[in-house]
Chain A
Amino acid sequence: EVQLVESGGGLVQPGGSLRLSCAASGFTFSIYSMNWVRQAPGKGLEWVSHISSSGSSIYYADSVKGRFTISRDNAKNSLYLQMSSLRADDTAVYYCARHLNSGTDYWGQGTLVTVSS
């Protein structure tokens, strides 16, 4: 059974940093590209970042470019999102999602990031 479990969310002050993790199991993590997608309270889904299976191709949404860094450790079956210079509008539930062709198939349960003083 495919499982994606996010962790690392919490309350952080504006300008602060946070590192999210996503532990993958039930599939061969190293052959799949992965994504981070977020959802602000009461809002729709917003794609954040994509990383290829090897980590050689990485893309970011303009809203996070230069502030967020996606990475992965295939030996540990884990995906990461390093977030810095956090702003109030980064407040959201962050999901990791497995990439399939031009979309995503499996999603984690999400981890809440709240940016507030």
Chain B
Amino acid sequence: QSVLTQPPSASATPGQRVTISCSGSTSNIGSNYVYWYQQLPGTAPKLLIYTNNQRPSGVPDRFSGSKSGTSASLAISGLRSEDEADYYCATWDDSLSGVVFGGGTKLTVL
């Protein structure tokens, strides 16, 4: 059971917009920055969004992050086939004194 809750799957067609949610609590998302990662099959996770809504250089502006209270979300617009991957949210949990991850969302581009 993951501390952060994500939907296990999401799907959309090319060109559409998809949103992935991440729900937590006051000790994690409510108190700290949220991070999002993309993991393609057989590869290490790659940072997509840091400190709630910032994109590292090289990440397309089709990817955006937001946070409100104890929830966060990742939005992907103009969906492309290469966006098909697993997506994870993460943050620090002050009660557990550690990084906590969501269970991951498998995105399928139909």
Contact = CB atoms under 8 A, between A and B. Distances in A.
Contacts of B33: 101-103
A1 B46 CA distance: 15
A20 to B, nearest CB: 15
A47 interface: yes
Contacts of A95: 44-45
B13 to A, nearest CB: 26
A110 B102 CA distance: 20
Contact of B101 (A46, A106, A110): A46
A101 B103 contact: no
Contacts of A23: none
Q: Is the interface of A mostly helix, strand, loop or mixed?
A: strand
B50 to A, nearest CB: 6
B17 to A, nearest CB: 24
Interface residues of B, number: 27
Give the contact-size bracket for chain A. Answer: 20 to 34
A37 interface: yes
A104 to B, nearest CB: 7
A51 to B, nearest CB: 12
A18 B41 CA distance: 26
B35 interface: yes
A103 to B, nearest CB: 3
A54 to B, nearest CB: 17
A29 B92 CA distance: 21
Contacts of B50: 100-101, 103, 105
Given A44-B103, A45-B45, A110-B44, A102 B32 contact: yes
Given A45-B45, A47-B100, 6 more contacts: A44-B88, A59-B98, A102-B91, A103-B34, A105-B56, A107-B45
